[in-house]
Amino acid sequence: METTRRKWLRNVALGTAALSFSRLEAFSRAAGHPTIPDADNLTVRLSSNENPYGPGPMARKAMNEHVTASNRYGWDLSGQLRTALAQKDKVGDANILLAAGSTEILNLVSEYCAQEKGSLVIANPSYSSWTNVAEQAGLNVVSVPLTADKKLNLPGMLTAIKTDTRLVYICNPNNPTGTVCERNGLISFIREASQKALVLVDEAYIDFSDQESLSRLVLENKNLVIAKTFSKIYGLAGARVGYGIAHTETTERLSNLQCWPNGSTSVVSNAGALAALNDIDFVSKTRSLNEQVRKYTTGQLQKLNLPCIPSMTNFVYFSLAQYQGDFFKKLEDNNISGTGIYEEDGKWTRITIGTMQEMQRFFQAIG
């Protein structure tokens, strides 16, 4: 009897897998892009700004091939990845510091700056999940409200810099608002702010925008660190690959806070990241699909009279002030994960741009 039951469970599992694969294959043929099955009983994850289409085919292939090499340390691969990143960002190998996601870079910078107690200047709201590390290390967080159009208030942030300021954090494009800083204005800001404190620019979402990275500025500026990640447009959030770009003297000081400099990423993750850099087709299709679905999303929000901020990312910031009903309860009832309220004044929240099917399900839930 038990053997029969096992066979039945196995057949059910195989049938479910086949159904899921057929859905995945159908969408892939239609969109020319890999994705995950959009089954009604699965939770739709619209909370963490993940790439719903990745990892890309080249990254998946490389990661699978390197699983059997996981019994060896990945010195060679990490060196290759640093060289590839240096070429991409137009700097030298010594300007690159690998990390387990860009959050490790944020943590390292926090610990480094907190060696001398003082303050950290950050916009509000901005990406702040990492600031608890800075506070525990001894930095006092000074928040600067956004402008009326939900952009970073760079003049206000300059004013907030005092003699005890050790670190200034700029998320560009900003999370959760999706806005970008005007490039020349940001460069001027960095030039002035970095004379007084270390400036950390988080470019996690810059690949979704039309703005060029500020990476080359580090060649002449020892008080500037750029944090970048493979978690977003490259679709490798779970692989945990990020890196910092800084002046060689700065990367050396930061690497001293790592037990194994450039050793936080695995063989499999490094292989996937190297392959992802070369998968131009996947990145291009991800960006194109994101733009299409983002346009649909903002259009639907406007139809529901929910004001939203023009986004240059894979998420949208919108107001629930006029929304009738319990928005978050509706998400919960429909197995959709969202975020929360970032600004009480206006009830501003954020939603990740998923696949078209996922966003249609989202609007069916809240409509």
| Same domain, residue pair 125 and 271 | yes
- Same domain, residue pair 172 and 289: no
Same-domain pairing of 232 and 333: no
Is-contact 309 177, C-beta < 8 A? yes
| Beta carbons of 181 and 151 less than 8 angstroms apart | yes
Specify the number of domains making up the chain: 2
Kindly state whether residues 290 and 267 are assigned to the same domain. no
Q: Match 């978690």 to its residue by tokens.
A: 231
Structural domain includes residue 9: no
Residues 270 and 188 in one domain: yes
pTM of the model: 0.89
Considering the domain architecture, whether residues 158 and 182 belong to the same structural domain is answered as yes
3-state secondary structure of 54: coil
Nearest to 235 by CA among 60, 99, 51, 57: 51
Orientation angle between helical segments 356-366 and 280-303, nearest 10 degrees = 20
Residues 114 and 250 both lie in one domain: yes
Residue ending a domain, choose from 278, 308, 341 = 278
pLDDT tens string for the chain (367 positions)? Answer: 433 333 333 343 333 333 333 333 333 334 344 444 444 568 999 999 999 999 999 999 999 999 999 999 999 999 999 999 999 999 999 999 999 999 999 999 999 999 999 999 999 999 999 999 999 999 999 999 999 999 999 999 999 999 999 999 999 999 999 999 999 999 999 999 999 999 999 999 999 999 999 999 999 999 999 999 999 999 999 999 999 999 999 999 999 999 999 999 999 999 999 999 999 999 999 999 999 999 999 999 999 999 999 999 999 999 999 999 999 999 999 999 999 999 999 999 999 999 999 999 999 999 9
The last residue of a domain, from among 217, 249, 278: 278
Residue 88, both tokens: 């991409």
Is the same domain home to 82 and 39?
no
Q: How far is CA 248 from CA 80, 222, 260, 305, 311, in A?
A: 18, 8, 17, 50, 34
Give the structural domain span for 103: 58-278
Quick one: which H or E segment has residue 293? helix 280-303
CATH code where residue 35 lies: 3.90.1150.10
**3-state secondary structure (DSSP) of residue 268:** helix
* Residue 14: inside a domain: no
